[in-house]
Every structure is written in C-alpha cells, then in structure tokens.
Structure 1
C-alpha cells in the first residue's frame, strides 16, 4: 500500500510523486542518503573510494582490498535486490521473462551520468523515470506522435544524456580490474 506523508504529500506537483509512495521507495530514500553520507563522511567510505581508485595504495596502508571489494559488492547487491523487489512487487506486479525491457542499461546510464555519486545517480534516475512517464502520458493523451517514437523516448533521453557528457565523466580508476597482491 501507498503511504502519504502528511504536509509533504500536499506540495503541488512533487508532493504526490515523491511523498505518496510505498515503503520500499521510502526505504530507498533512506538508503541513498545513508550511502551518500557514508561514502564521503566515514572511514568506510574513504577506504571504499581508495580501493576503487588505487588498490595498491590502499593495500600499502593495510586495507584488505579483496575483502573490502567482496563485502561492498555484496552490500551493493543487497541494495540492488531491494530495487528488484520494488520492480517485481510494486512497479510491474509480477515476475516474467525480460520484464525490465532494457531498463538495466538505463540504470547503468544513470550511474554514469550521475558520475558515480549516489545523489547525482538518483537525480539522473529520476530524469530517466520522468522520460518514461512522459512517454506513457503522451500515449494516454493520444498525441499524433507515432507510438514507436513514444516507446523510444526514454532511451533517446538516456543516449543524449550519456553521449553528451560521457567524455567529461571518469569512473573509478580500478573499476573492473582484479587486484592481485604483489
């Protein structure tokens, strides 16, 4: 069931969108805030960023790089699992083959467009979600635009966002590279 937050839910336009949601959405607001705070304000975040940028330097100061990577990827998987639960239980309401229809790539684009920052990635995801809902709204309003073009809208917005800024964005230096102590 949806829970409306009193007063905040009454704000025009953004109130119903942000403050009349299910428990999982509110949980994700909290998770994004905690991860963003932890990533830049705690010892854990400093170690995590060190392991992602320069694992040899992190190893030199005594951080167990492989263990840190394992536990942080496990944490990220748990957070992604909450997102998957929302998608299956709330958004779509069932589990079927290919139910995401390429939205995983849009999520990856949100992380890239958000410059690997939790708050920016969340804002990018909201932008791409807005494009998806705009496509649905324009279809319901029976605009003269062909439905094929309407279905392309979220993907076109994603491509424009990532292609327009991809040259300026740099990911973690050690992303995807295995660390072998030596």
Structure 2
C-alpha cells in the first residue's frame, strides 16, 4: 500500500470524529445557540458508550458483538443528549451566558471522561487495560467484498459503519435545513427569533430540540474515536483538541453540513501531516498542528470580506432570546 493511500485513509479516519462534532454544532448554531461544550460532550459520548460495552461484556461469558454495539450506541446517545439538555436548561430557560456554560460543560465532560476512564481502568486491572474488543469488532466491521477491491476498497470501503453514518448524517442535515419546513423554521429562529416567534414558531421548543439533538450527534464523534478508531480502548486526554477542531470546522464549512464533509477530511489530513513530513523538530511539529486553525482563520477573513449573507453565521448566534423583550 502506497504512502499516499495510507495518508488518505488516516486523514479520513481522523476526520470522522471531527465531522460528527461539527454536524452537531451546525444544527445547534442554526438555532442561535453557540455550544462551546461540544468537546466535553464528545468525551461524555465516548466514555459512556465504552462503559456500557465494558459492563455488558463483563456480565456475560459469551458477549454478542451486535448487542454490545446497540447497548453502547444507545447509552452514548443518551449521555450526550443529557449534556445538551443541561446546556439547554441553563442557557434557554435560566438565561445563563452561553459561552460560560459551554466552557464549563467542556471542563465537566473532560473530567467526567478521565475520571470514569481511570476508574474503569483500575477495575479492569490497571491503566490502559480497558478492552471491549468484542463490541469494537462490530464497530470496525468493513463492507464485505467491496473492502477487498485493490486501492478503491482500501480508500472507500474499509471503514466501520460510523464512518459512513457521519457522511450520511451530514447530507441528511443539509437536506433538512434547506428543503424542509422545520429546517426553514430552525434557520429563521437563528436569524431572528422575535420575528419567528411572532409568526407562531415555538422558539424554545426548536432551540431545545436542536441543541439536544446536536449534542447527541456530536457525542457520536467520541463514540467513534473510542470504538472504531481506538478499537474499544480508553486513553485519558486521548481526544486531544478534536472537539475544538469540530467547532472550528463549523466556520470553515460556512455553517453548511455538506461542506463539513470535505472540511473534516481536510482537517484530518492537516492534523496528521506532521507525521508524514520528514526532518521536523518538535517545534515545527507543533506548528504543523496549527494548520487547521490557520486555514479556518483565513476562510473567516475571506468570507467576511465577501459579505455574502449565506456565508455568515446566524444573526442571533450566541444571543439569548427573551420573549417579553420582543
């Protein structure tokens, strides 16, 4: 297998968790909410799914891979959605500052993941001893037949189902936001909640639904990283800054889910580029890791200068809506 093919495969693998996080955040931001808790929610989704699979496999002598997948997937979605619910209650109902709540949620989520990850490691026999290989095998199962095609199979059909789900979700979200009435209502709320409210749209309900569902989608990024990418193991702080890259990708994608697909794979490639460049020092490696953020800043500057409305963030992004002040 050529070095270029290996690089492209790894770029895709790196980008999937970022794509899940960005897709979830796009849905959230389209409602006008800015959830900086996405990195923490990804941690919660990852460790919750791993814990569910671990206790399931410990409870039976003959664990079923498919059942383990269903259990871990459900628990991960519930845990991530709960994180979105916490954010929603605090920012929508209690009117707390969105940035503060988001950052606090990230701190909580990272601590939650590392605490329970370390605790389960000790229960399993020591640091790094968590292993749910039976369940992970279901997540990592490749497409039969197609994955054996030379080059094409390796590049397009050699991934687990969450990789393909991330792309399918992004496409469905794009259709939902542009072609459905509920999607148009959601975008209207993000642009001008007072006008949407006056038109009879339930602003709070849409904001709650978008934020909670967005968190659940983002949490799948954590589950992917733990189950498919790491093969059913846990590494404290192993996510790195992928959660923040997901938030940056929302800007690069110009709040368009389809753009997030190619953007996530671009970010994935830039994130690991330093591994494939010979002769780099530790300092230059760290500079290479900055490339996704540099690209995002450049895109933000260019889109601001062009001043096209469709390339701008929702007008009410990050602003609380008080109906009595309408």
8 Å contact kept, 2:245–2:292? yes
Write the mapping of 1:40-59 to structure 2, written as runs, cut at 5 A. Answer: 40-59=178-197
Provide the secondary structure at the position in 1 that maps to 2:323. Answer: coil
Specify the alignment match of 1:113 in structure 2. Answer: 252
Provide the secondary structure at the position in 2 that maps to 1:175. Answer: coil
Instruction: Determine the C-alpha separation between the residues in 2 that align with 1:9 and 1:41.
Output: 37
- Partner of residue 293 from structure 2, selected from 145, 159, 181: 159
Instruction: Determine the C-alpha separation between the residues in 2 that align with 1:148 and 1:166.
Output: 26
Q: How many correspondences in the alignment? A: 176
Could you list the per-position Cα deviations for residues 44-81 of structure 1 after superposition, in whole angstroms to 9, with x for gaps in the alignment? 11011011111011101100101100011111111111
Post-superposition shift, 1:6?
5.0
Instruction: Determine the C-alpha separation between the residues in 2 that align with 1:100 and 1:30.
Output: 23
Over 3 Å counting, the alpha-carbon distance change for 1:119 and 1:97 in structure 2 is same
Specify the alignment match of 1:145 in structure 2. Answer: 280
- What TM-score comes out, normalization by structure 1 length? 0.86
Instruction: Structure 2 unaligned segments of length 5 or more: list them.
Output: 1-139, 305-311
8 Å contact kept, 1:110–1:122? no
Aligned CA RMSD, in angstroms, stands at 2.1
- What TM-score comes out, normalization by structure 2 length? 0.50
Specify the alignment match of 1:94 in structure 2. Answer: 233
Instruction: Structure 1 unaligned segments of length 5 or more: list them.
Output: none
Higher relative contact order (CA 8 A, sep 6+): 2
Post-superposition shift, 1:40?
0.5
Specify the alignment match of 1:37 in structure 2. Answer: 175
Q: Which has the higher helix share?
A: 2
8 Å contact kept, 2:274–2:289? yes
Q: Which has the larger radius of gyration?
A: 2
Over 3 Å counting, the alpha-carbon distance change for 1:50 and 1:8 in structure 2 is farther
Post-superposition shift, 1:171?
1.1
Instruction: Determine the C-alpha separation between the residues in 2 that align with 1:69 and 1:149.
Output: 42
Over 3 Å counting, the alpha-carbon distance change for 1:5 and 1:126 in structure 2 is farther
Provide the secondary structure at the position in 2 that maps to 1:20. Answer: coil
Post-superposition shift, 1:134?
2.6
Check if 1:126 corresponds to 2:260: no
Over 3 Å counting, the alpha-carbon distance change for 1:15 and 1:109 in structure 2 is farther
Instruction: Determine the C-alpha separation between the residues in 2 that align with 1:161 and 1:114.
Output: 11
